[in-house]
Amino acid sequence: MGLPLDHWPVLAGREAWRSRWIAEGFPRDDHEAFHYTDLSDLDSRHWPLAGPLPVDGPETLPGLAPWPLEALAAPGLAEDWAFAALNASYAGQGLQLQLAADQRLGWRQAGLRTPAGQQLHFQHRLRLGARAEAQVLIDHQGGAGGLSSHWLEIQLDDGAQLTLVRVQDDAADHQHLALTRVQLGRDSRLHLITLDRGQGRARHDLQVRLAGRGAEAQLDGLYLPAGRQHLDTQLSVQHQAEHTRSRQFHRGIAADRGVAVFNGQVRVHRGARGSDSDQKMAHLLLGPAARVNAKPELVIDHDEVKCAHGASTGQLDAAALHYLRSRGLAQSEARALLVAAFAGTVLERLPLEALRRREQQVLLQRLGAAAPLEMLALEEALA
């Protein structure tokens, strides 16, 4: 069974990829990797292909340079990704970053705004040469009822350092399909922070390969499904070399009928002696209809390694709620404060003041709580 052909445009030179996509279609829940995210309802939907986005995206935060989109010279195919053929059939633009050895780049910000009701596909490539350093922020703002796919391929050469903040803030009923692949060379460092607070459905496959000795990845994430949002993250961390290190810190808050799916696999391959991995995830359920499907998974093929993981799912602490109320905070305020504190453990990891403030503000706005800036100002006045 394939997709209805006439719904999918044809681009010159990409007919084979398109045919493959038509034959494959959207995965359904009988596909193991999509057990909690059935996309078969999309088979019958239709999105016109949007024209290229303006290269200079939305305005940037103070202190960040704009990171313009570029036209793709040669689109590729991300094998083993459920949406590889779709993405390859239509991707026309992407973010490119190629740093030579020892080159350093300050903060850059890109904004990807898919128009409402349309589809748009991207392929981004980052390559940092030996000891190069970069810090980037990618904001995703998919339009209501739209569809977008994002393939981000990153290679860090020996000793390179990358900080990447990925924000997904799609509008209602947007379908967000993403693959992020990172390969880390010897002694390279990655700090990736993903913030998922969109209103639609998102599926993010995140694959990190610690391929060089001493490579290190810090992966932090916050996801906030509310309304009818559905956020599915499939994370895989592969320790392939000696003395590699990974740290994961994920927090999910599900409200209303929101669904969070988080599958975090850590694999320590044979030969990855002295590897060290730590995975922490915690989820907060804010309503009886909210759901979390979290699965930590540890596969160890080598002895002499250090692996730890912890996962919890629960509700707001009733004792803490009562304590706050007994001091005069209204129930709604007390709840918002506790949720903000829970999310704050991820937001405080954002390395950029302006970004941290922006995200705190968005979060507290969502929670309907007092202005966070007031809290920050108070602490600054005291310092």
Partner 1 sequence: MLVIDQLHARVEGKDILKGLSLRVGAGEVHAIMGPNGAGKSTLAHVLAGREGYEVTAGSVRFLDQDLLAMEPEARAAAGVFLGFQYPVEIPGVSNLYFLRAALNAQRKRRGESEIDAAAFLALMRDKLKTMGMDRAMLQRGVNEGFSGGEKKRNEILQMLVLEPRLMVLDETDSGLDIDALKVVAEGINLRRGPQTATVLVTHYQRLLDHVKPDAVHVLAGGRIVRSGGPELALELEARGYAWLDAA
Binding site for partner 1 (CB under 8 A): 317-320, 322-331, 333-334, 337-338, 340-342, 344-345, 370, 374-375, 377-379, 381-382
Helix, coil or strand: residue 88:
helix
| Tokens 């995210």 sit on residue | 37
Provide, rounded to whole angstroms, the least separation between the CB of residue 338 and partner 1. 7
Rounded to whole angstroms, the Cα distance separating 251 from 312 reads 10
Tokens of 55: 């290269």
Q: Which is nearer to partner 1, 22 or 375 (CB)?
A: 375
Q: Which is nearer to partner 1, 209 or 280 (CB)?
A: 280
Cβ(241)–Cβ(213) below 8 Å: yes
* Cβ-based neighbour number of residue 110 at 10 Å: 22
Give the dihedral sign, CA 11/94/238/270: positive
Helix ranges (H only) for 127-277 are none
Burial class (CB in 10 A: 0-12, 13-18, 19+), 41: exposed
Closest CA to 273 of 306, 299, 297, 248: 306
Provide, rounded to whole angstroms, the least separation between the CB of residue 369 and partner 1. 9
Tokens of 57: 């995206």
Provide, rounded to whole angstroms, the least separation between the CB of residue 285 and partner 1. 18
Provide, rounded to whole angstroms, the least separation between the CB of residue 355 and partner 1. 18
Cα Rg, the chain, nearest whole Å: 21
221 forms beta bridges with 194, 250
Going by the DSSP 8-state scheme, the letter that residue 332 receives in this structure is H
Q: Which is nearer to partner 1, 75 or 372 (CB)?
A: 372
Pairing mode, strands 70-71 and 93-94: antiparallel
Q: Which is nearer to partner 1, 100 or 320 (CB)?
A: 320
Q: Which is nearer to partner 1, 308 or 330 (CB)?
A: 330
Q: Which is nearer to partner 1, 74 or 326 (CB)?
A: 326
CA angle 135, 138, 142 (to 5 degrees): 175
Provide, rounded to whole angstroms, the least separation between the CB of residue 327 and partner 1. 4
Q: Which is nearer to partner 1, 67 or 342 (CB)?
A: 342
Provide, rounded to whole angstroms, the least separation between the CB of residue 222 and partner 1. 13
Provide, rounded to whole angstroms, the least separation between the CB of residue 93 and partner 1. 39
Provide, rounded to whole angstroms, the least separation between the CB of residue 187 and partner 1. 33
Tokens of 353: 């003041």
Q: Which is nearer to partner 1, 300 or 324 (CB)?
A: 324
Q: Which is nearer to partner 1, 286 or 305 (CB)?
A: 286
Provide, rounded to whole angstroms, the least separation between the CB of residue 322 and partner 1. 5
Crossing angle of helices 353-367 and 331-347, in 10° steps, is 150
Closest CA to 271 of 306, 301, 237: 301
